[in-house]
Structure 1
Amino acid sequence: MPKRLLPLSGHGIGWSANRRILAVAIGLACLLAIAGTTAYLTGRGEQHRSSPASPPPPASSGSSAPSQDAQEPGTETGSVPRPPRISDPVAFGKAAAVMLWSYDTRDTSHEQQLAGMEAWMTEESEYSDWSSVSAQVPDSVLWSRMADQRQHATASASEGHYPSAFKQALAEDPSAITEAYIYAVTVTGKQRIGWADGGSGAEDRSVTLAVQCRPSQDCSLVAIAPRVAP
């Protein structure tokens, strides 16, 4: 069986202290958008899924409906879908997780995969952690070997919620979110992988994402974050 792309089982990429505005609450990692403040998002995840509690209210937007624009064949992003035009952090997080867990080396080059993923990122450079997202894609040599095996994957998101540490931290300081409107969203789902000669397999997936949803704007991806307590 060839090596698999995007093994997002919840392991995060470290947040740079010079670029992050995320704060630690009660010993568990959570995202707090505090202007001008830099911190780390740390924490540890649990394997089981918990029922979602009442989430903090997402930023409202006049463009809450998903985009009707379809990915045109032969565009620079290959099979990577365009980001949906929605303003709900959990809904966007689920869509982003499906995008990250999906790929098709049969019709998408290494460069196209990266370009398609980057289109989901926030344009606010002070918050964007592109390296945590791009690091999920293997290098061009491995991608070529995967393409030789015609490796591809589809995914589905079964559940998404705000981690408990994020909700508790936000409850303690509700105004903190209003600086950058960055939400922590944990998503669980399944990835189905196929390759040449009819080979196939499936794996459960879980990832925590940092999602930015400013009022009157569509959501965007900030980073892949370390998994936190659900």
Structure 2
Amino acid sequence: MGKRSRPRGSGLTSHWSTGRRIAFLAAVLAVLLAGAGLAAYLSAGGGRGSAPSGKPSTSGPTAHPGTSAPTSGKATGTGTVSPPPRLTDPLAYGRAAAVMLWSYDTRATTRDQQLAGMHAWMTTETKYTDWTSIQAQVPDPLLWSRMHDQAQYATATVTEARFPSAFKQALAEDPAALTEAYIYAVTVTGKQSMAWKDGGGGAEDRSVTLAVQCRPSADCALVAIAPNTAP
């Protein structure tokens, strides 16, 4: 494995379009984005998270079908994965979730621990959650093992979190559309910095659109990596 291998936000298109829960989530987003904003929201970006450009990867992540929680096996705890913050602002939660998704430390965290830590951020309302799109961000066990051998880790910073224009337009046209599931589309941009043994390292710009649930008088939770939107 080349030392620059890393989790990436690609390969999600097929998983967004299949599966009962994923289809249901898409329908929920369609309700939120009814009217003029719907077509722009669902068509832009082909329904996939932004992948880093210009840097080939030795291997992509393996997405696992289904929406079940990760099994811990011999690993316990969540390693270095940060716990979900108690926030009621979808933009603030989206920022925190993006940092979590773009950060990892294979030196001190097993793959099962990484998945368990990520799963703690998910909404407990299973009829909305799309765990498949989140766990697809984690490399398969073989690649994770090779990253561990290279002592690879990554940190992240966020430069902006915003509501996409199609989402804002749809809510302006029909504010009541939000009040069933309280799922917000949040586009986050930032930078991921990677490092590995023998002084290796690199950085790249990142962008992702998240579906975040923030019900009134409740903490926010992560729902899915949503289709890309127009700016």
Structure 1 residues 1-230: aligned runs within 5 Å: 1-8=2-9, 13-15=15-17, 16-20=22-26, 21-23=28-30, 25-26=35-36, 27-29=39-41, 41-44=42-45, 76-230=77-231
SS of match in other structure, 1:217: coil
Distance of 2:24 and 2:184 partners within structure 1: 19
AA in 2 matched with 1:91: A
Q: CA deviation at 1:44?
A: 2.4
Distance of 1:226 and 1:151 partners within structure 2: 29
Distance of 2:142 and 2:10 partners within structure 1: 23
CA-to-partner distance for each residue in 1:80-129, whole Å, 9 max, x for gaps? 00001010000000000000000000000010000000000000000000
Computed over aligned residues only, the root mean square deviation of the Cα atoms, in angstroms, reads 2.1
Identity of aligned residues (%): 62
Distance of 2:224 and 2:11 partners within structure 1: 13
AA in 1 matched with 2:29: L
AA in 2 matched with 1:123: T
SS of match in other structure, 1:125: coil
Structure 1 pair 165–81 and aligned structure 2 pair: CA distance change class (3 A): same
Distance of 1:195 and 1:148 partners within structure 2: 9
AA in 2 matched with 1:202: A
AA in 2 matched with 1:143: W
Q: Which consecutive unaligned segments of at least 5 residues does structure 1 have? A: 30-40, 48-73
TM-score where L is the length of structure 2? 0.78
Q: CA deviation at 1:2?
A: 2.5
CA-to-partner distance for each residue in 1:141-163, whole Å, 9 max, x for gaps? 11001100111000000100000
Partner of 2:61: none
Q: Which consecutive unaligned segments of at least 5 residues does structure 2 have? A: 51-74
Distance of 1:10 and 1:159 partners within structure 2: 24
The count of residues paired between Structure 1 and Structure 2 equals: 192
TM-score where L is the length of structure 1? 0.78
Q: CA deviation at 1:6?
A: 2.7
Structure 1 pair 221–207 and aligned structure 2 pair: CA distance change class (3 A): same
Distance of 2:11 and 2:208 partners within structure 1: 4
